Structure 1
């Protein structure tokens, strides 16, 4: 359907890929796209045939972040949906009961960086880079990145807005592996198969342990993360 901003693959070896499919807009996370990702994750959470989710972007950008045009919209429906959609999106990704692998196929900026950080494991293409350019004009989501790399690195990136390439991201612990652009999908699927060797109930219990130690209680609003 033309209004679908994501694609969801059929389960293969107990893994499903969600692809953000708005490449002409650098996979900007509009309200509609956020809601579609949240809906897809909610459905997969109860699908007993699925053990792991891969999240990636179409084209050469993982995600450039939230769709800034919506923040300037005069449509009252858009304004009414901005933060409820955002709060649900962050809560749904952060609290998903199954492991999520981010296959970062290119720049992950602002909310796109947040999305990658909220996943459990990140594999990056050599073309990936990570930055919080929104620090110059907006609050930055801090907690997930702090959980991932610790306070010193999280403060450096969130307060400065500096951009790091894939190699530096590997050194800082933002990503677990860097591969050639043409090898990213295979690397992500290989990792998913490794994860899926475990029974689903064990993966759910292990993920629950990780969630209990994460920053931010259930229901934390976006701008409080």
Structure 2
């Protein structure tokens, strides 16, 4: 899968968008492979955390604008464009809804248009100092087609989200950290080591509790407080029956570091 690299080491899966000469813009093959490896991450219990990054100096420029121009000139219908999104691009965010393991995005450079939206899908986002973000759809007379109009206001508030969507202007890494778009900004050479270290920390933690907490956060975003408390009680019952819970409580009593097995 030359357009998308995938490797697993020590419970961590790394996905690298690998079209650096084209700004890691999407192709149908890349999107298909991306969905496939995400499904591997969902199904394989040995994988406990996932890191996404881009090859080269750009994280992801989203859709291939040159390709889109050729297709539009060839008479692409509105139905065709919608089906391209539904059958290909949207497969990534919808598949990610099934991933309850930590998904860390290491933004190594510019993230624009649907490339920015793909970055927004991370549970945690770390950015290189050279990174910058733009909802650049408006620059080509388009609208946010990959979930950005839904995700961005929930992260940074409606006024700032609309400013980014309406102008398409870049937000630099430091500003992205200030407004809560990313968790942390790091020197370029420290981005991937930091992201991998966080992935390793999570991969070596109590897996069931980590996965359930992600589910609780997602559930809480669309439920009442009372419903969230009921769900929390159910999750607590599940966690209390795990080996990791017994190991954690024993280690606490014995004043030692716990060794988790992920079950």
* Smaller-chain TM-score bracket: 0.7 to 0.9
Query: Contact 2:177 / 2:185 at 8 angstroms: preserved in 1?
Result: yes
Q: Say yes or no: does 1:125 pair with 2:131.
A: no
Match of 1:109 among 100, 109, 112: 112
The TM-score, its normalising length taken from structure 2, stands at 0.74
Q: What is residue 6 of structure 2 aligned with on the other side?
A: 8
**What's the CA shift for 1:188?**
0.5
Is the contact made by 2:136 and 2:169 (CA closer than 8 Å) also made in structure 1?
yes
Worse-matched range after superposition: 125-134 or 141-150: 141-150
Q: What per-residue deviation string (whole Å, max 9, x for no partner) do you get for residues 38-76 of structure 1?
A: 111011101111111000000000001111234332498
Matches of 1:134 and 1:24, distance apart in 2: 21
Rate the CA distance shift 1:214–1:110 in 2: closer, same or farther, 3 A. farther
Q: Aligned to 1:103, what secondary structure does the other structure show? A: strand
Once the two structures are superposed, residues 130-158 of structure 1 have per-residue CA deviations (whole angstroms, 9 ceiling, x without a partner) of 00111241111311112222222222211
CA RMSD of aligned residues (A): 2.0
Task: Determine whether 1:17 maps to 2:14.
Answer: yes
Q: Tell me which structure has the larger Cα radius of gyration.
A: 2
- Is residue 99 of structure 1 aligned with residue 102 of structure 2? yes
Query: How many residues are paired up?
Result: 210
* Higher-helix-fraction structure: 2
Structure 1 runs, 4 residues or longer, greater than 6 Å off: none
Give the whole-Å Cα distance in 1 for the aligned partners of 2:123 and 2:99.
Answer: 10
Contact between 1:30 and 1:70, CA under 8 Å: does it hold in 2? no
1:183 is displaced (CA, Å) by: 1.0
Picking from 44, 47, 50, the partner of 1:50 is: 47
Aligned mates of 1:188, 1:38 — CA distance in 2:
22
Kindly indicate whether structure 1 or structure 2 has the higher relative contact order, using CA contacts under 8 Å at least 6 residues apart.
Answer: 1
SS of the aligned residue for 1:167 comes to helix
Distance in structure 1 (CA, Å) of the matches to 2:136 and 2:17 = 21
- Residue 155 (str. 1) matches residue 157 (str. 2): no
What TM-score do the two structures reach when normalised by structure 1?
A: 0.86
Q: Deviations over 1:102-144 (max 9, x none)?
A: 0000000001110110111111100100001112411113111
How do 1:18-33 and structure 2 match up within 5 A?
A: 18-33=15-30
Distance 1:104 1:87 in 2: 20
Paired residue for 2:173? Answer: 166
Alpha-carbon separation, structure 2, partners of 1:169 and 1:191? 20
- Unmatched 5+ residue regions in structure 1? 216-225
User: Is 1:138 paired with 2:168?
Assistant: no
Cα–Cα, structure 1 residues 147 and 214, in superposed 2: closer, same or farther, change >3 Å? farther
What SS is found at the alignment partner of 1:19? strand
Say if 2:52 and 2:104, in contact at 8 Å, map to a contact too.
yes
In 2, the alpha carbon distance for the partners of 1:169 and 1:152 equals: 15
CA spacing shift, 1:75–1:96, aligned 2, 3 Å: farther
